[in-house]
Amino acid sequence: MSEMVSDPRQDPKLMDALRRVSPGTTMRQGINDILRGSEGALIVIGEPAELSFLFSGGIRLDQAFSPYLLYELAKMDGAIILNSNATRIVYANVQLMPDPTIPSAETGTRHRTAERVAKQTGAIAVSISQQRDVVTVYVGDSRYQLEEIPAVLAKTNQALTTLDTYRARLEQVSTRLTALEFQSAVMLDDVLTALQRGEMTTRMVDEIERNVAELGVEGRLIKIQLDEMTEWVPADKLALIRDYEVFEATGGAGRVLEHLAGLPDQALLEFDELAAALGYPRTVNPMDYAVAPRGYRVLSKVPRLPDHVIDHVVGHFNGLEAFVRASIEDLEEVDGVGSVRAREIREGLRRLQEQNLVDRYLNL
């Protein structure tokens, strides 16, 4: 699995900035015009009143944004200041004077100024290099150099192939776990394997979604394909956590998800780390430690069963085995179920058991 921790695009503010300059936007059209014209530019997006203390000189325009106007103004030496939603060009030919003591690793004057402005004010700064045809986006402490669209597309398609492998493996371990749940034969090792695969798939999805945001309109078909491949993964992972977490130790599924998201990629290979995330002692042997599901995963696979009904069923019975063996009359006693829904639950569980058996034979 590729290392994703260092990807600056994990910063939500940077991702918002990249969406503003992605293909299909008028901003990207203007940037491309500047590149084609072999010009350079420094563009700052923020509230002009909050940035004005950095200004020296410049021309106040307050004109509606257009790619053509952006390109023409780039022929001047100074910075171009846009309002916070980038709908108006407020100033042009501005000399920016950020705090020179702010550290910067940039060598060019324009890029160094952009980085310091972003760090000092939190505004979005876009620096376009005249010599190198490079576009760099700065937000706060984050810096990202835009890649050529064909390169991003190639990288994203390769990631989709990897994701398909992850998803297929996740489906296999999920099917096996469901079979073991119906047999009351689940070991913690089975749970951790499914959790590991689910988190690895989630991280690959996140990486691809960052690429899609950078691709803009060029990534629409990839986004559709991505959603079709993995739309079930987040809910299934959440249900898995709710089934097996030691709530007294974790404080809830939301905290488990946060814990998992904060783990380095390498830690996902360590089952003691995953066990700890679910609230189990690191000293337990997952292969010998029997666990029983509460039933969230299985009930989530029953068609048309609302979340609040799932909660009521799980809360009423003591684990999956209890409500699998329950009669229709027993299910009817659950708040929000009733006779019709009780029959749907019984039929849904029966079909799930049958389908799971077929799937296991097909995957042998």
**Burial degree of 110 (CB within 10 A; 0-12, 13-18, 19+):** buried
Domain identity same for 59 and 159:
no
347, two tokens: 């039929």
Give the domain range for residue 238. 147-293
Other Cβ atoms closer than 10 A to 145: 13
Q: Which of 298, 272, 297, 276 is nearest to 287 (CA)?
A: 272
* 2 falls within a domain: no
Same domain, 114 and 30: yes
Is 3 part of any domain?
no
Q: How many domains does the chain have?
A: 3
Asked, for residue 35, whether it belongs to a domain, the answer is yes
CA 206 to chain centre: 4
Is 211 within the bounds of a domain? yes
Examine the domain organization and report whether 196 and 250 are in the same domain.
Answer: yes
Q: What is the pLDDT of residue 359?
A: 57
* Cα 331 to Cα 323: distance, rounded to the nearest angstrom: 8
Q: Hunting for tokens 């920016």 — which residue is that?
A: 96
Q: Is 1 part of a structural domain of the chain?
A: no
CA 120 – CA 216 distance, rounded (Å): 28
Q: Are residues 286 and 192 in the same domain?
A: yes
CATH number at residue 314: 1.10.150.20
The CATH number for 213's domain is: 1.20.1260.110
Contact 79, 138 (CB under 8 A): no
Q: Are residues 18 and 111 in the same domain?
A: yes
Enumerate residues 6+ apart whose C-beta is below 8 A from 272: 282
Hey, CA dihedral for 328, 332, 333, 334, is it positive or negative?
Answer: positive
Helix axes 149-182, 233-244, angle to 10 degrees: 40
Tell me if 282 sits within 8 A of 276, measured CB to CB. Answer: yes
- DSSP character for 124? E
CA 231/CA 60 separation, integer angstroms: 48
- The model's pTM is 0.86
Same domain, 129 and 15: yes
Residuewise pLDDT in 10s, the chain (364 residues): 444 447 899 999 999 999 999 999 999 999 999 999 999 999 999 999 999 999 999 999 999 999 999 999 999 999 999 999 999 999 999 999 999 999 999 988 999 999 999 999 999 999 999 888 899 999 999 999 999 999 999 999 999 999 999 999 999 999 999 999 999 999 999 999 999 999 999 999 999 999 999 999 999 999 999 999 999 999 999 999 999 999 999 999 999 999 999 999 999 999 999 999 999 999 999 999 999 999 999 999 998 899 999 999 999 998 999 999 999 999 999 999 989 999 999 999 988 888 766 555 545 4
Q: Domain boundary at 146, 167, 184, which?
A: 146
Please check whether residues 238 and 100 belong to one and the same domain. no
129 in a structural domain: yes
Distant-in-sequence, close-in-space partners of 115: CB < 8 Å, separation ≥ 6:
102, 104, 105, 106, 125, 138, 143
Last residue of a domain, one of 258, 273, 293: 293
Residues 265 and 299 in one domain: no
Q: Let me know whether 331 and 260 are in one domain.
A: no
Domain boundary among 259, 293, 327: 293
Residues 6+ apart with CB under 8 A from 121: 46, 50, 51, 54, 98
Backbone angle region of 288, left / alpha / beta, with phi > 0 → left and psi within -120 to 50 → alpha: alpha
Q: Are residues 72 and 82 in the same domain?
A: yes
- Examine the domain organization and report whether 170 and 121 are in the same domain: no
List the CATH number of the domain containing 52: 3.40.1700.10
Neighbours of 111 (CB within 10 A): 24
Find, among 224, 210, 59, 43, the residue nearest to 118 by Cα.
Answer: 43
Residues in the chain, overall count: 364
Same domain flag for 282 and 170? yes
From 240, 232, 246, select the one nearest 320 (Cα to Cα): 240
